[in-house]
Structures are given as C-alpha cells and as structure tokens.
Amino acid sequence: MKVAFQGEPGAYSEQAVFNYFGQVETQPCESFDAVFDAVNSGQCESALIPIENSLAGSIHQNYDLLLRNNLFINGEYPLRVRHCLIVNPGVKLTDVKKAISHPQALGQCAGYLRTHGIKPEQVYDTAGSVKMLKESGERDVAAIASRRAAELYGMQILEEGIEDNPENYTRFLAISKTASIPEGEAKTSIVFTLKNVPGSLFKAMSVFALRDIDLTKIESRPLQGSPWEYLFYIDFIGSIHDEVSKRALDHLGEYAVMLRVLGSYKRFAPA
C-alpha cells in the first residue's frame, strides 16, 4: 500500500502516516494539489491530509480540495505535534547557540529557546532544517523537527517535547477513492451552504438538535466573492448508514443550497 502526504521525508505528515497506517510505502508530494492528484491517478491508494491544527486553525485549502475532488474520508488521526531539539551526534545542549527551523516551529518553542539562550533562525521547513544541519556538520547549531526526521538523517535528539504549549495537535484525514462503512462509533463530515435568510443557520442546526445528534465541529467560512454567503463545515457523531443521520441530512436538504457528505468514518479512539 502506498500513501501520499504533503512535505519532505521526515515531515510531521509522514509521521502521522506511519502512526495511522503502520509500515506502508509513502509518497512525498510538493503541494496538497499533488496529494489529491496522486490518489486520483491511482498512483497511491490513500493519502493523509491535515485538516485542522489546535493552535493554527482549519486548513481551508484541503476543504476546497475535498469539494473539488470526488474522494472520500475514511478515517481521522490526531497527531500530537512534539518538537525535538536535534543535533549532530555528540553535540551537547550547552554547545548549542542557534536553532534553525520553520518559523511556526520556532515560534512554538520560543520560551524554551529563550530559557536556554538559543537564538532562533528561520529556514523554510522543519525536516529540511535537519537535512541542512547534517550537511553542514555544525556543532553549535540545533534543528527543530519531528523524531522521525532525526531518525531518518541519523541525527541525535537532545530533548523531545520542547514546545511551549503541549496542546498542539494536528488532525489528519485519511482519504481514498472509495467510501468505507465505518465500524464502531462513527463520525460524519459534511459541507453545506444555506439560503441567505434570517435564522437559516439556527434551522440547519435544529435538524441535529431535534434528533439528539452530537456535533463535534462547526465552522462558518465567508465566501468572499459572494457577500453574505457562507460555507459551513459540520462534523457529527453518527454514520450516514444510520437511519437517524439519513433523516437529519434529508431535513438539512430542505434549507441547504449545496450539501456534500465528505465521508463517514470510524471516530478516533485513543488506545
């Protein structure tokens, strides 16, 4: 089995692929478009895409790609983002004067770096910073990236989990050409737009509330070209194969201008 992800080998996305799928072959892709193309063309059976981060928010681009492509969500995986301080073998923490990484990763470790008197320097990628450090062989520099990146390049981890805020999770979705019938507790992701009339969102939510269906996500997104129009993302507990969910979506269809079920899948349950 071959699974596509966006980024370079050693990226957090690749780590999520291994955690979720086990030992599969991975296909690094330059962009999210290329990830979807890899599945559409049949080059990869599946892909794992980030859909939201607990600190940075939803990744609208991937919602857009889910709407444009005819692929289905088959599963979800929340990756706890644990940044590692990575050095060339034998280098000690007291030797490290500078840390290189992607600006977002540096920002998330700002407190740790300040405490240890380490100067941040921005490069374009987390996994790429480890590769650069290995090539330069510098002994007063550290890279900040995933455990996987350190292992891939045979580098040493001085400390793991150096992010200031431990509540740093990225939720990934597994996508493929075929819809699966989820076993166990299921979740369903939908996208819809509503007629622009007062109280329309309240009515849309009533279709779930009236049937005691729990929502785990709701988000409105303004459609900038069309003032007063919004896309809504909702995740709810249940499978589209359940009678109650079918009825709720049927009812929602009375208010929605566009309604698309992105997939029903097994809800992630921590081991």
Applying CB under 8 A, which residues contact its own copies? 31, 33, 52, 54-61, 78, 103, 107, 110, 122-125, 166-167, 169, 198-199, 201-202, 205-206, 208-209, 212, 214-225
With CA atoms as reference, report the closest residue to 103 among 78, 80, 129: 129
- Residue 92 · residue 142 · CB < 8 Å: no
Counted residue by residue, the chain has a size of 271
Catalytic residue among 172, 192, 208, 232: 172
Give yes or no: 170 in active site: yes
Q: Which residue, 138 or 235, has its beta carbon nearer to its own copies?
A: 235
Q: Which residue, 24 or 237, has its beta carbon nearer to its own copies?
A: 237
Give yes or no: 172 in active site: yes
Please give the Cα distance from 201 to 30 (Å, whole number).
Answer: 37
Closest distance of CB 90 from its own copies, Å: 28
Radius of gyration over every alpha carbon of the chain, rounded to an integer in angstroms: 21
Pairing of strands 84-87, 141-145: antiparallel
How far does Cα 68 stand from its chain's mean position? 18
- Residue 106 · residue 99 · CB < 8 Å: yes
The H or E element that residue 259 is part of is strand 256-266
Q: Which residue, 223 or 244, has its beta carbon nearer to its own copies?
A: 223
Q: Which residue, 1 or 110, has its beta carbon nearer to its own copies?
A: 110
With CA atoms as reference, report the closest residue to 75 among 173, 4, 3: 173
- Residue 151 · residue 34 · CB < 8 Å: no
Catalytic residue among 26, 126, 170, 188: 170
At 200, give phi and psi (nearest 5°). -65, -35
Residues labelled catalytic: 170, 172
